[in-house]
Amino acid sequence: MTVTQKLTMAHFRTPLFNDWCPGCGDFGILSSIQMALAELQIEPHRVVVFSGIGCSSKTPHYINTYGIHTVHGRPLPFALAAKLANPDLTVLAVGGDGDGLGIGAGHFVAAGRRNVDITYILYDNGVYGLTKGQASPTLRRGLKTKALPRPNLNDAVNPIALAVVCGYTFVARGYAYDTRHLKELIKLGIQHKGTSFIQVLQPCPTYNDLHTKEWYAGEDRIDPETKKPIPRLYKLEETGYDGEVKSPSDEEAVAKAVEAIKKSYEWGDRIPIGVFYRNPYVPSYDQRIASVAPIYLQSPPAQQPIRTRSMKPVANVSPLFDELRVHY
Amino acid sequence: MGKNGKKKFTLSWMIGGAQGSGVDSSANLFSYSIASAGYYVFGKREYYSNIKGEHSYFNVVASDSPVRSTVDSVHILASFDAETVFRHAWEVEEGGGIIYDVALENERLRNIPTIEERVKAEVAERLKNENVGETLRDVLTVAKRRGVRVYPIPYMDLIKKTGEIIGEQQLTLLLRMVNTMAVAASFAILKADINRLHRGLSYAFRAKKAVVDMNFTACKVVYDYVKDNFSDDFPITLPNRKNDEDLILVNGTTIVGIAKIVAGCRFQSYYPITPAADESVYLEDKQVFNLNPVSDGDEYEYPHLAESRQLSDKGHILVFQSEDELAAIDMAIGASLAGVRAATSTSGPGFSLMAEGLGWAGINEVPVVVTVFQRGGPSTGLPTRHEQGDLLFTIFAGHGEFPRIVIASGDMTEAFYDTIKAFNYAEKFQVPVIHLLDKSLANSTQTIPIPSVNEVLLDRGLFINEHLDGKTYKRFEFTDDGISPRAPLGTRGAIFWNTGDEHDELGHISEDPVIRTRMMEKRMGKLEIIKESIPASDKIATYGDPGAKDWIISWGSTKGPILDALEMLEEEGVGPIGFLQVKILHPFPAELCLETLQSAGRIIDIEQNYSGQMGRLMAMETGLRPTNLILKYSGRPFTSTEIRDAVKEVLARNTKRIVMNRGG
């Protein structure tokens, strides 16, 4: 079967009413995903978008691909398994910062060790929106967003640094309102053979009154000469930064990882977005399985015959019984 | 009496030792060798939650007809450490024998750190009552007074002698064979064929020929020593006997693993936990297997998703060790969504975490199999010990209401077929299926007839491979029986959505009260369909006299000791007694139970938990209450003799609640 029709963003939209708040950063991320899929011309039925729980995790319902809205904090286990079961699928996982780094932190860490070929997009707005604005794991200590009765007492986790040390082989950061840039990051993530992690900075117009669109745009900082705001965000690729590991050497991988982590601590007046780290030399999980069971690549779980047309099982377990057979 | 009127012959043999000293392999050696001499065996493994040093033991019963449980007394106690004798000498019957290391005779009870204070006090009391001291020699003196034979073995001398024969001087290497030697001594006492030990060694040590040969030399040295130095008057002998049955010697985790491969399970996720992990490790070891050639007129059914792949003559099950059990069940669900028969395997603490994923599978109608090897709870409880404490939890786990099936296997053979049924039910009814097993089944070994794979059919239900009719595919389409055609992820034309929220037919979130009501009815209505579709023989089994006034009810692995106890009771002329084994616990076969028990006077509920969970379930589902309870929650499985005694007590005195506690 061949694709005769060129896929556009419209093919990836569902007719559902979208119930996110007006101005929510989620919209920009949703569009970026749809644009990326359309530009990559991946047929909708070959894509699965998994999500956790929260506002952002409603994303799959708005995308016309398979959409699996899972359990709070656990889109990754579902997504990894589906990809391993059928490697022909293009698998994306999406979820909020509370979902991925709070309740799902264990899965976030474990996924980094595996390098299954999926793309994980973390919507980071610093708050738990759907439960009315509690502090999320990425909200910095001492900050008091408007729904908090007291300033936040916890330190924030650094998603980029965490992803790097966990072993993610593609680590990037985008901004929800820069959809062209974000779309490109998502495309790179999907094309990367391994687990791609994309943190997306995203205002929550309802509950995060600190990291607003205006704040990111630097509207509180007017350049005295140009009389224009000085944006906080800047693009790594425009500064000559290159996070890509260019050789299969551990030494280079470590050096690039350290550089990425250092970069990830920039915050406040200058906030980098772009690709922090990329290492194409780490074997993906399907290759690791194939190293112990070469048959896997040819015959992954979802593509194996398990029975005949007459419903008989096809596996031959006689050798297993023979090992246990009593010989008189 | 046995079925043919001949008295059933049994030998109860026990070996013990420090964990890590080869108790398991010596028990496997004994079991296989005896089986190979033509006997049926059942072996029970007891061990601490510990890697090295604590006391473990294995009790093997051998018989000339199939045996399903252990008994309380021991005919031969084989040991190579002092602790085993201190603990178990008391269980050896009059006329039985104790094999021990002569060098340990002066060991003192108080110097053995791994015996609990309570047990030490108990042993000390026994010795005091016999007016002897507290050494191993004193224990043996008391045993001899009871008519127990003792077999002091100079293991060290015999090890050195073996070393000379094979030209090996490294003592640490040679010492590892002491466990094998205890088995060989048992063989000599029982006048069993030493050559069968060679087969047993090949089984216990797999393909390591050098190890097998070295151990066999050690066996011969000990065998000859025992023959030359002790009188050959042991009352039980095990000559080779003819056995026409094609048997395997297997434990519960292995048989479930093999069944999963047959069932077409191609993805298993798990997080390490005792005693379930053995199953997953076995599957990982056997992950690649050959496919059967197809018979004429038949062909492999390739999933439509395999469009771009080469056909293969091999199969593969992907076993994935996840970061926790939350992920383990979610991964199994993820693989199932992709169209794979998928399972996860765990024990109580892991299942507690899986309650979350179970509910998601429930509301999204995902077929997934959860294999639960129960152990002592609550919390970490008794990690390596037996209990049937999770019945009500598995039936009710998860918030809200959703359909599921809970099945429980009574023995290894049932475990094999139930595993396959679990996958068939899961796909046919699109529900999570919980397969309840337990530590006793997991870690016992038994000779069973080779399961008949030819009879197995794999029913995938309304599993569609393509959806090309142009109509919008609705994953949760309302149908007459509540079961909607199910397509795997990646199917052209069948895009769908899933959500843990209530949803419409497409799978999108819906809080519409009308849709909510219909969806609840669609899902929960499947329980009635399940009840109607599953044949009675899969739901319950009955044994004994159908017209009996006294009925035993039970579930799971208590089946073995109950059946063996019923044989003993029949032999003693006690009865008639009926036995109702409930195999599908949810949805509960209420009508069948009412029918079976309609003329029952006494309903004796036998379970390995504190509260008689199935009795309570039956009361809830049928209004029938057990009249008497025989329970055990010490962490050790029932022996047949223990059930025999308890049933007699109920029959004689109508005791309402009996709590048994035998076995160390």
Is B292's Cβ below 8 Å from some Cβ in A? yes
| pLDDT > 70? residue A3 | no
Hunting for tokens 């390490």 — which residue is that? Answer: B272
Q: Predicted confidence band at B1 (pLDDT cuts at 50, 70, 90)? A: very low
* Average pLDDT of span B542-553: 96
Query: How far is the C-alpha of B351 from the C-alpha of B358, rounded, in Å?
Result: 9
- So what CATH class is B539-660? alpha beta
Backbone angles phi, psi at B437, to 5 degrees: -130, -165
- pLDDT tens-digit map of B342-358: 999 999 999 999 999 99
Is A96's Cβ below 8 Å from some Cβ in B? no
Residues 314-333 of B with CB under 8 A from A: 314-318, 320, 322-324, 326-328, 330-333
Query: How far is the C-alpha of B87 from the C-alpha of B73, rounded, in Å?
Result: 13
Q: How many residues does chain B have?
A: 664
Q: Which residues of B touch A65 (CB under 8 A)?
A: 495
Q: Which of B301, B460, B463 to mutate to test the interface with A (most CBs of A within 10 A)?
A: B301
Closest CA to A31 of A52, A12, A6, A4: A12
Q: Residue A302: closest CA among chain B residues belongs to which residue?
A: B340
Q: Which residues of A touch B193 (CB under 8 A)?
A: none
Long-range own/partner contacts, residues A248-256 (CB < 8 A, 24 or more apart): A248/A281, A253/A279, A253/A281, A253/A282
Question: Looking at CA atoms only, how far is residue B229 from chain A in angstroms?
Answer: 29
Structure confidence at residue B312 (pLDDT): 78
Beta-strand pair B92-101/B405-408: unpaired
Structure confidence at residue B169 (pLDDT): 85
Question: Looking at CA atoms only, how far is residue A226 from chain B in angstroms?
Answer: 49
Decide if B261 and A317 are in contact by the 8 Å CB cutoff. Answer: yes
Q: How far is CA B185 from the centre of its chain?
A: 29
Q: Which of B64, B250, B291, B325 to mutate to test the interface with A (most CBs of A within 10 A)?
A: B291
Q: What string of H, E and C letters represents the secondary structure of B79-121?
A: CCCHHHHHHHHHHEEEEEEEEEEHHHCCCEHHHCCCCCHHHHH
Is A297's Cβ below 8 Å from some Cβ in B? no
Structure confidence at residue A20 (pLDDT): 96
Of the listed ranges B89-103, B345-359, B443-457, B465-479, the least confidently predicted one is B465-479
Decide if B342 and A85 are in contact by the 8 Å CB cutoff. Answer: yes
Is B36's Cβ below 8 Å from some Cβ in A? yes
* Average pLDDT of span B586-604: 97
Is B18's Cβ below 8 Å from some Cβ in A? no
Query: How far is the C-alpha of B134 from the C-alpha of B153, rounded, in Å?
Result: 20
Look up the CATH number of domain B249-293+314-455. Answer: 3.40.50.970
Backbone angles phi, psi at B58, to 5 degrees: -135, 125
Q: Which residues of B touch A299 (CB under 8 A)?
A: 309, 312, 314-316
C-alpha atoms less than 13 angstroms from C-alpha of B631 in its C-beta half-sphere: 18
* Average pLDDT of span B533-537: 97
Question: Looking at CA atoms only, how far is residue A53 from chain B in angstroms?
Answer: 9
- Looking at the DSSP bridge assignments, the partners of residue A175 are A201
* Average pLDDT of span A209-222: 95
| pLDDT > 60? residue A39 | yes
Partner residue facing B495 (CB), from A45, A304, A324:
A45
Beta-strand pair B445-449/B40-46: antiparallel
Contacts of residue B397, defined as CB under 8 A and 6 or more positions apart, other chains included, come to: B351, B352, B354, B355, B358
Tell me what the pLDDT averaged over chain B comes to: 95
| pLDDT > 60? residue B2 | no
Structure confidence at residue B637 (pLDDT): 98
Q: Tokens for B263? A: 């069932």
Q: Predicted confidence band at B308 (pLDDT cuts at 50, 70, 90)? A: low
Q: Residue A42: closest CA among chain B residues belongs to which residue?
A: B490
Residues 306-325 of A with CB under 8 A from B: 306-317, 319-321, 324-325
Q: How far is CA A273 from the centre of its chain?
A: 15
Is A272's Cβ below 8 Å from some Cβ in B? no
Q: Which DSSP string do the residues of A23-38 spell out, in sequence order?
A: T-THHHHHHHHHHHHH
- So what CATH class is B10-229? alpha beta
The domain segmentation of chain B, as residue ranges, is 10-229, 249-293+314-455, 462-534, 539-660
Partner residue facing B326 (CB), from A74, A80, A321:
A74
- For chain B, what percent of residues have pLDDT higher than 70? 98
Decide if B264 and A292 are in contact by the 8 Å CB cutoff. Answer: no
Partner residue facing B488 (CB), from A16, A295, A302:
A302
Q: Which residues of B touch A109 (CB under 8 A)?
A: 323
* Average pLDDT of span A146-165: 96
Structure confidence at residue B309 (pLDDT): 65
| pLDDT > 80? residue B416 | yes
Contacts of residue B123, defined as CB under 8 A and 6 or more positions apart, other chains included, come to: B86, B87, B90, B109, B115, B139
Size of the A and B interface in Cβ pairs below 8 Å? 278
Distances A263 to A267, A278, B43, B137 between C-alpha atoms, Å:
9, 14, 62, 74
- pLDDT tens-digit map of B131-178: 999 999 999 999 999 999 999 999 999 999 999 999 988 888 899 999
- pLDDT tens-digit map of A101-129: 999 999 999 999 999 999 999 999 999 99
Backbone angles phi, psi at A319, to 5 degrees: -60, -30
- pLDDT tens-digit map of B567-587: 999 999 998 999 999 999 999
Distances A222 to A209, A231, A272, B585 between C-alpha atoms, Å:
19, 9, 20, 71
Q: Which residues of B touch A324 (CB under 8 A)?
A: 248-250, 254
Domain count, chain A: 1
Structure confidence at residue B142 (pLDDT): 98
* Average pLDDT of span A300-313: 95
Q: Predicted confidence band at B9 (pLDDT cuts at 50, 70, 90)? A: confident
| pLDDT > 70? residue B479 | yes
Structure confidence at residue B4 (pLDDT): 44
Q: What string of H, E and C letters represents the secondary structure of B554-582?
A: ECHHHHHHHHHHHHHHHHCCCCCEEEEEE
Residue A320 lies in a domain: no
- pLDDT tens-digit map of B211-227: 999 999 999 999 999 99
Q: Tokens for B90? A: 């008391």
Decide if A86 and B453 are in contact by the 8 Å CB cutoff. Answer: no
Query: How far is the C-alpha of B375 from the C-alpha of B381, rounded, in Å?
Result: 8
The enclosing domain of A140 has a CATH number of 3.40.50.970
Q: Which DSSP string do the residues of B516-557 spell out, in sequence order?
A: HHHHHHHHHHHHHHHHHHS-HHHHEEEEE-TT-SEEEEE-GG
Q: Which residues of B touch A82 (CB under 8 A)?
A: 334-335, 337-338, 489
Decide if A89 and B498 are in contact by the 8 Å CB cutoff. Answer: no
Q: Which residues of B touch A328 (CB under 8 A)?
A: 36-38, 240, 242-243
- pLDDT tens-digit map of B235-266: 999 999 999 999 999 999 999 999 999 999 99
Residue A59 lies in a domain: yes
Structure confidence at residue A1 (pLDDT): 45
Q: Where are the beta strands (DSSP E) in A103-228?
A: 119-124, 127-128, 134-135, 170-175, 196-201
* Average pLDDT of span B529-555: 97
Decide if A89 and B318 are in contact by the 8 Å CB cutoff. Answer: no
Range of the domain at A38: 9-290
* Average pLDDT of span B275-284: 98
| pLDDT > 80? residue A5 | no
Beta-strand pair B405-408/B584-586: antiparallel
Check if B249-293+314-455 and B539-660 are the same fold: yes
Q: Which residues of B touch A68 (CB under 8 A)?
A: 334, 337, 489, 497-499
Partner residue facing B498 (CB), from A69, A303, A307:
A69
Question: Looking at CA atoms only, how far is residue A124 from chain B in angstroms?
Answer: 22
Question: Looking at CA atoms only, how far is residue B367 from chain A in angstroms?
Answer: 14
| pLDDT > 70? residue B623 | yes
| pLDDT > 80? residue B7 | no
Is A86's Cβ below 8 Å from some Cβ in B? yes
Structure confidence at residue B310 (pLDDT): 66
Query: How far is the C-alpha of B635 from the C-alpha of B608, rounded, in Å?
Result: 8
Is A114's Cβ below 8 Å from some Cβ in B? no
Residue A302 lies in a domain: no
Distances A225 to A221, B123, B656 between C-alpha atoms, Å:
12, 94, 94
| pLDDT > 50? residue B325 | yes
